[in-house]
Structures are given as C-alpha cells and as structure tokens.
Amino acid sequence: MTPDSETRAILALAHVAPRIPRADAVDAVLRDEKRALSVLRANQVLSYGAAQLAESGRAPTGSVILSAAAAKRKERAQLDELWSQIGEAVAEAGVPVAGIKGRAAMSLYEEPALRDMSDVDLLVGSVDDAMALVEVLRARGFEWWENELPWVKRDRSTGRIYGQAPLDLVRGTERLGVDLHFSGYSVRHCRFLPLDVTEPGLNRWTPLENLPLLVGNAAGDFLIRQKDVNDIALMLEQPGWEWGSALHRIRHVGLGPFWNALLEATAHTSRLSGEAARRAGTLALPGVPRESPPFAVPSARRRVRGTVIDAYRSADGPLAGMKLAAASYRYYRRPLRLTAERSCTHDAEAAAPVRHLRNDVCVRLVPLDMVHGLAPASPPPPEETGKPESSSVQGSTRLRELVVSGHSFAQLNGELFATTVHYDICPVQRDVAAGDLGRD
C-alpha cells in the first residue's frame, strides 16, 4: 500500500459509512497501531474509530487506541460538564449564545459522545454581548488561552466588529477550552460571514445552521478531515431537510469551491444510500472555481497557496486582489509567534491598528502579563510616555482604545491589551506595559 492508501484504510475504521470493508480497516490499523492512533487523532475521529476497533473483537491487549479513547472519554465528560457551567454563565450575563461546530454536529450521531471535540465553540451576536459573557467567565476563573490570542476585525460592508475570544479553565493538570466567536464567522484571510444569535440562553444550532461554519473551518485549514466527511455523510442521509439557506451562505462567502471538494470527498469515500447519493449530486454548486484540498494529511505549503488564491479572488479587481494576496502570503507563509523586537519599526497604522480595523487585518490582543514576560523593560519617565488618550471604538461600548506614545492599547471590560498584527511587540509597547498603565 502507498502511504496515502494506508491512511485511507486506517480512516475507514472511523468512517460512518466506509466503502472499504471494516475488516480491511482493522487490518490496516493493526499493522501499525501507533501510526493509526496518530491518524485518528489528527482527523478528530479517535472515539468513533476506537468504538469500531473494540466491536471487531480484534483489539490487542494493551491497545494504545483503546487507552487513548478512554482518556478522550474523560475529557469529553469534562467538556460536557463545562457546557453546563457555561449555561450558568450565559444566564448570568443575560445574552443569547449558540453552541456551534462540534456542539451542533454531535446531534447527527446515535451516540453523540463518539463525535470528538477538543473544546467548546460558542457564537454570540455582537462584540458587546461577547465581552459581557467574557466578563462573567473571567470572574468564574477562566483565563486567556496562551496558545491563541483574542483578535478583532471590522467588516467593511456591515461595519460590524467581529472576532474570537479564546479562554480556558484550568482543572488540576487539565485545561478545558472555550472558543467564543462573535458577530459572525471569519473565513480565510478576509471573508466574513455575518451571523446573528437571537434565541435566549445557551442553545445548540442545528447541523444545517452549522454547515457554513463547518465548511469555513475546514477551508481555513485547507484540509478535509474524516470528521468533516462523517458529518456530511450523516447529513446527506437525512430526508426532508431544506439545504437552500445553508448553500446560499456557503456560496455568498466564497466557500463554494471548498464545499464542492468536501462533497466530492464524502461521495468518493462513503457507501451512501441511493437517496443520499442522489441528494449529494444535487448539492454541488455550479460555476465555481475548483479547489483540491488535501485529505486527512495537512500541507502547510498548499494551505498558504489556497489562502493566497482565495484572497485574490475575494477582491473587487486585479490590483486590489494582488494587494490582498501579498498581504495574506506575508501573514500565512510561516507560523507567527509572539516576539520581542529590539527596535520599533511600526508605522502609524501598524502602531495603532484598533482605529484601522478591517477585514484583511487581524488585530491580536496581547494580555499585558504576556507582554511583561517577553523581555524585561524599565518603566519610562512619565514625560516620555505622555498622557493616555482614551476613545471609544465605533460599534462597541465595551471595546475602547488607549493611545500612548503613538501606540494603541485595547481596553476590554477595563482590562488592557497590547495590539499586534504580525505578533511583534516593540520596546515602546513593553515600556508602556511596564509602567503605570500596565499596572492599572
């Protein structure tokens, strides 16, 4: 077998409707169980695959897959308990919130616990509602997640501020994540899908409401995972569903090429019923460019290429497209890590990005504790920093901007953050954070 065919055979164990016989999939898994475990984890189908391996009766003594699945069950139980705690926080905040992505897709499965999730994804209708919920969660012990900084953009068409606020809750050695999306969903480099949440309290979206988010998430990674194929295969088997609204949103936000690729991968690898196969044939979007994302195994180079091409396509004309493509290449060409720069090279727009929010500029908000930890800095004399200039940010009452020494700091719920686009923190920002402003 080639490495690609071996991977597909392994994933057939965790496929809800595989074309490859289960016995052949078990054979592939047992040839190298540790490699199989890595493949199942990467495709977020460990629980489903482990259940099939156990059912086969051929799991080896001390199976690493069954052992990992047992740990995954404990994590899932903690996430389910976390969901209940979030419900209490939502009630206290008094804002409508929807569970999206894995929380919406799990209803497709006869055993919802077999649909793997790594965190809890939520959607709130506005930046202010999101910050109201963040304030409650922070008071309940949640922390900013150090692996992903919160960020904001502004949609050019609607003026809405949108973004994400990743938080986690530490329990002993475990960290349980909550990823709070607000105002809509960011798609790739500069596309925006506006979404509203109106139902009071904490609720879960239906799989069809969730579909554009599922496709947008996969398109952002430029990777089709087995979990995505499983979700789509189960959706195709549902009679009487109205797909029109979801497909309209998918096409409107430029996800048609990726949706067609995902639909093709699902049909190619799944043993669908006749009705589901016919349905799949009617759901492909005509007249959109073709994309060929990798299946199961990510490719950083292909992700950059796909994102750059999509950025170009999203523009109104060739010149604007070239500028967006160049900006997206600069952003995605290498992993970005928070770095303490030796000198300040920020121009006016880069130094104060909060006032220049737009779709193609992702403004990361760096908690000042992280700024302090980057490199030592001495508090500058008061006359060097000048008096902070505070101003509101259009479209929000909870997000404000403070400008000190020509650099903007974001203020959310009274908490201050340094701002960065390319993860570079300059000496001016570190000095300001080390001074009185950073200790307030």
* Residue 170 pLDDT level (bands cut at 50, 70, 90): confident
| Interval 230-288: pLDDT, tens | 999 999 999 999 999 999 999 999 999 999 999 999 999 999 999 999 999 999 999 99
Residues 114 and 240 in one domain: yes
The answer to whether residues 208 and 108 touch, using CB atoms and an 8 Å cutoff, is: no
Secondary structure class of 33 (helix, strand, coil): helix
Higher pLDDT, 147 or 181: 181
**pLDDT average, residue stretch 22-31:** 96
The last residue of a domain, from among 37, 68, 99: 68
Q: Is residue 190 part of a domain?
A: yes
Residues 63 and 202 in one domain: no
pLDDT for 349: 87
Q: Is residue 293 part of a domain?
A: no
* Residue 348 pLDDT level (bands cut at 50, 70, 90): confident
Residue 292 pLDDT > 50: yes
CA distance 236 to 233: 5
Residues 51 and 88 in one domain: no
Residues 159 and 208 in one domain: yes
Q: Is residue 375 part of a domain?
A: yes
pLDDT for 95: 97
Residues 125 and 235 in one domain: yes
Q: Which of 7-11, 355-359, 363-367 has the least mean pLDDT? A: 355-359
CA distance 402 to 386: 12
Residues 202 and 94 in one domain: yes
**pLDDT average, residue stretch 174-192:** 94
Residues 177 and 102 in one domain: yes
Q: Is residue 291 part of a domain?
A: no
pLDDT for 431: 86
How many of the other CB atoms lie within 10 Å of CB of 326? Answer: 13
Residues 84 and 149 in one domain: yes
pLDDT for 436: 57
pLDDT for 414: 86
Residue 440 pLDDT > 70: no
- Burial class of 87 by CB neighbour count within 10 A (0 to 12, 13 to 18, 19+): middle
Enter the tokens of residue 221. Answer: 């990674």
Q: Is residue 148 part of a domain?
A: yes
pLDDT for 390: 79
Give the count of domains, the chain. Answer: 4
| Interval 364-419: pLDDT, tens | 999 998 898 886 655 555 445 556 777 889 999 999 999 988 899 999 998 999 99
Residues 386 and 326 in one domain: no
**pLDDT average, residue stretch 115-137:** 96
The answer to whether residues 65 and 40 touch, using CB atoms and an 8 Å cutoff, is: yes
The last residue of a domain, from among 47, 68, 89: 68
Residues 359 and 255 in one domain: no
pLDDT for 79: 93
Instruction: Count CA atoms closer than 13 A to 388's CA, side-chain side.
Output: 18
pLDDT for 385: 52
Mean residue pLDDT across the chain:
92
pLDDT for 437: 59
The last residue of a domain, from among 68, 91, 124: 68
pLDDT for 387: 65
Residue 299 pLDDT > 90: yes
Residue with the two structure tokens 């044939």: 281
- Burial class of 345 by CB neighbour count within 10 A (0 to 12, 13 to 18, 19+): exposed
Q: Which residue range forms the structural domain that includes residue 310?
A: 300-332
DSSP element (H, E) containing 27: helix 22-31
pLDDT for 438: 47
The answer to whether residues 225 and 296 touch, using CB atoms and an 8 Å cutoff, is: yes
Residue 147 pLDDT > 90: no
Residues 204 and 109 in one domain: yes
Pairing label, strands 407-412, 415-420:
antiparallel
Q: Is residue 102 part of a domain?
A: yes
The answer to whether residues 178 and 166 touch, using CB atoms and an 8 Å cutoff, is: yes
Residues 97 and 126 in one domain: yes
Please calculate the CA angle 283-311-394 and round it to the nearest 5 degrees. Answer: 100
Q: Is residue 289 part of a domain?
A: no
CA distance 296 to 226: 7
Residue 51 pLDDT > 90: yes
Residue 439 pLDDT > 80: no
**pLDDT average, residue stretch 13-31:** 96
